[in-house]
Amino acid sequence: METVKTVVFALILAGLIRTLLFQPFWIPSGSMKSTLLIGDFLFVNKFTYGYSYASCPTLFGVDFCGFAKGADDRLFGSEPERGDVVVFKHPVHGADYIKRLIGLPGDRIQMKDGILYINGNPAPQTAIAPFVEVYEKQGPQQGFPRCANSRPALGGDCVKERAMETLPNGVTHEVLNIEDSRADNTEEFLVPAGNYFFMGDNRDNSVDSRFPQRGYNPGVGFVPAENIIGRADRIVFSAAGSALWKFWDWRSDRYLKAID
């Protein structure tokens, strides 16, 4: 009976920590390269922005706080800042996404020739050294990265153009460019009250708020404040192989790396 009590209390404590403080997150895709790589493992700080229905974990397909969706309110809430890297629930199918916060309520957001415009003003980009990675299968999905230099030989260099972008509040971060895509030129989006606009740093390889919420495999569109889970601050470790437990494939330069 004492063993049972110990296990129960441990599970309750773990559940409280996961619900109220930190949620583990493993990066499954390349949409946030080079800031986040496939296989980065991090904890999401959940108390930074307060709590909503999205703060509760979904276990075995059960959304324990789904009944509160639509309340449009956050307990102990605080406003996220432009440039934060944020985990949120997809507004349509509820999957966890991680992107960078670009647009605040009331902002006008547009892409022109690959340059981000916020309220009519361009976010300056300064070209820096290209992002180079090995052309090989990555992560559990074993997909190949997209490259600006066409399709290199297996094991060769996969190159992407890289720039340092500066947002209006002074936050700087790296963005990647692979090709001229339809998402490089968009309509102007007016972010509604109570919503936010997110984009991936790997601009040509990210399904984000530039794409509407319609049809199969919907884009993200605007994200309601209640869908925000928390802020990603620091990488714990990074698994370059196909599974987290393959510690021999962990990247030695990413332990406890701050997320900019």
C-alpha 51/C-alpha 57 separation (Å) is 12
pTM for this entry: 0.88
99/216: higher pLDDT: 99
Catalogue the active-site residues. 31, 99
Q: Cα separation of 220 and 183, whole Å?
A: 13
On whether the CB atoms of residues 230 and 21 are closer than 8 A, the answer is no
List, for residues 178-219, the tens digit of each pLDDT value: 999 889 999 999 999 999 999 999 999 999 999 988 766 788
pLDDT at 226: 92
- Give the whole-angstrom CA distance, residue 132 versus residue 148: 10
Domain boundaries, the chain: 2-249
* pLDDT above 80: residue 145: yes
Distance of alpha carbon 145 from the chain centroid:
17
Q: What percentage of residues in the chain have a pLDDT greater than 70?
A: 85
Is a pLDDT exceeding 80 seen at residue 105? yes
Using the predicted structure, report yes or no on whether residue 139 has a pLDDT greater than 90: no
Q: Does domain 2-249 have CATH number 2.10.109.10?
A: yes
